[in-house]
Structure 1
Amino acid sequence: MKNEGDRNMDLSPQERLDYMPGKKRNIFQRKDIFSFSMDAVLLAKFAYIPKNKGKIIDLCAGNGAIPLMLSIRTDFKIDAVEIQEALCDLMKKSIIYNGLENQINVIHKNILELTDEVSWGTYDLVTCNPPYFPMAASDRHNKNEKLLFARHEYACTLEDVIRISSKLLNFSGRFAMVHRPERIVDIMTLMQKYKLEPKKIQFVYPKKGREANMVLVEGIRGGKPGIKTLYPFFVYGEGQDYTEEFKTHYENW
């Protein structure tokens, strides 16, 4: 049973409490730290969840947007791994506020240093909204380390994410990730290298006539070849309003 949650938690001067799409979950965020984005919400809906049983782990969890949204879809246990202590603290506050202490477990660690905090080879689903951009020499001079962790492959690379996800999954377990379309060749190549056969892909466009700026990919560990390309989403219409199709998908939880 989920708890009622603590609705009387204090906010620090930097913090705010926001609704997530569908208004079934609240999330604590900080003004000086990268907030959750549309990418995380779309991934939480894109990922396939087993019907009868399941163990889930979210890598590069940030302030917990994906685990929080996944908890609307399932009662399965969810591990959430995040390297930044400040984001772990926010995630823990959101978990308590939403009464999810018995479902979501926060692991404060670099995914490269995971040991017995996780159950290797047993998860049915691994999700990840990783840093999108490879590190350049100039990026290392960025004084905002929090943004480096969020945007750049500073603490782990795309290959690290895919390799570790494969080790976490059981045979026929699923890996679901959101990333940038320009990395799709790298993603597919690395997934096959680590025995995660790509099975489903969906592109997201800011609006018609523009290039895609997001791609959702799912693979199965040990799966047979063959991939489905789902119908794309167009986020905005002529103005700054969501298209009806996207609004229904994004906000219907």
Structure 2
Amino acid sequence: MNNQEQLDDLIIDNLKIYQRQDQFRFSFDAIALVHFCRFNHRHRYIDLGTGTGVLPLIGTSLGAGHITGVEINDVVAQMAERSVTYNHKSDVVSIIHGDYRTMNYHQFGSKPFDGVLVNPPYFDHRKGEMPDDNNLCLALHDRCTTIEDVCNSASRLIKNKGHLWMVYSAPRLLELVNVLTVTGFAVKRLRMVHGMLYKPAKIVLLEAIKGGAQGLTVEPPLIVYSQPNVYTEEVSCWYERK
């Protein structure tokens, strides 16, 4: 184990995950996304840019049949593989080191996936300062991976009527919806995420269907904190699930 590496407790289903201080670490965005998904135990899913594998680990505990995580950063992909082994999830989670922008479903089997999960880079590289670390740029900023790249990759990898679940920057929601529409997705569910009540939403959870009919449900907002550093009842319930 690298001396910068640690085994962190996810506080969900007794899962633990390897992470390093010098690499991208998952955030609340991923936890909110995986609880927004609606999984089927018979279905296969793919997580684009899985990082250390938090979405596949929790997603298979929440009902997904199998999740394949794809990660371009070899160091992080290796940690994800060890997390899968540590949590005895090798039968339901696969980690692939590679670039999902160049992949299609034939590389994973004869049939496309039933659904895609993605927590993509969503900070606009044209605005604000960029991190000095290239790995953090890949994970956080859209300079290398645009939202067009993400949506086109999702479309190649899933079946017609397959589901796409994504967490994205709330101020860039219109941009995302436009790209999804052009790519052949119909946005079906939206949920805005607010740090606290009466604070503007910073992120949005979105479900879209490839080739789906129009018809959007805007769900009640997700409020993360009832007061500073105190989770709301809904969020607390996620972590109480053992």
TM-score normalised by L of structure 1 = 0.88
In structure 1, stretches of 5+ residues that fail to align are: 1-10
Q: CA deviation at 1:137?
A: 8.9
Which structure has more strand as a fraction of its residues?
2
Q: Report percent identity of matched pairs.
A: 29
- Residues 75, 241 of structure 1: alpha-carbon distance in 2 compared, 3 angstrom cutoff: closer
CA contact (8 A) 1:62 1:88 kept: yes
Number of residue pairs matched by the alignment: 241
Letter in 2 for 1:69: I
2:75 alignment partner in structure 1: 86
Q: Could you tell which deviates more after superposition, 39-48 or 87-96?
A: 39-48
Secondary structure of the 2:163 match is strand
1:156 alignment partner in structure 2: 145
Letter in 2 for 1:105: S
- Residues 204, 104 of structure 1: alpha-carbon distance in 2 compared, 3 angstrom cutoff: same
| 1:105 maps to which of 94, 113, 117 | 94
CA contact (8 A) 1:125 1:174 kept: yes
Matches within 5 A, 1:51-70: 53-70=42-59
Q: Could you tell which deviates more after superposition, 69-78 or 226-235?
A: 69-78
In structure 2, stretches of 5+ residues that fail to align are: none
CA contact (8 A) 1:121 1:168 kept: no
RMSD of equivalent CA atoms: 2.0
Q: Could you tell which deviates more after superposition, 100-109 or 226-235?
A: 100-109
2:24 alignment partner in structure 1: 34
- Residues 106, 13 of structure 1: alpha-carbon distance in 2 compared, 3 angstrom cutoff: same
| 2:9 maps to which of 6, 16, 19 | 19
Matches within 5 A, 1:1-253: 11-50=1-40, 53-74=42-63, 76-115=65-104, 116-119=106-109, 122-136=112-126, 142-249=131-238, 251-252=240-241
Q: CA deviation at 1:250?
A: 5.1
CA contact (8 A) 2:13 2:61 kept: no
Residue deviations 1:84-135 (CA, integer Å, cap 9, x gap): 0111011011001001112211111112222553348611110000111132
Residue deviations 1:39-69 (CA, integer Å, cap 9, x gap): 1111111112135x21110001111110111
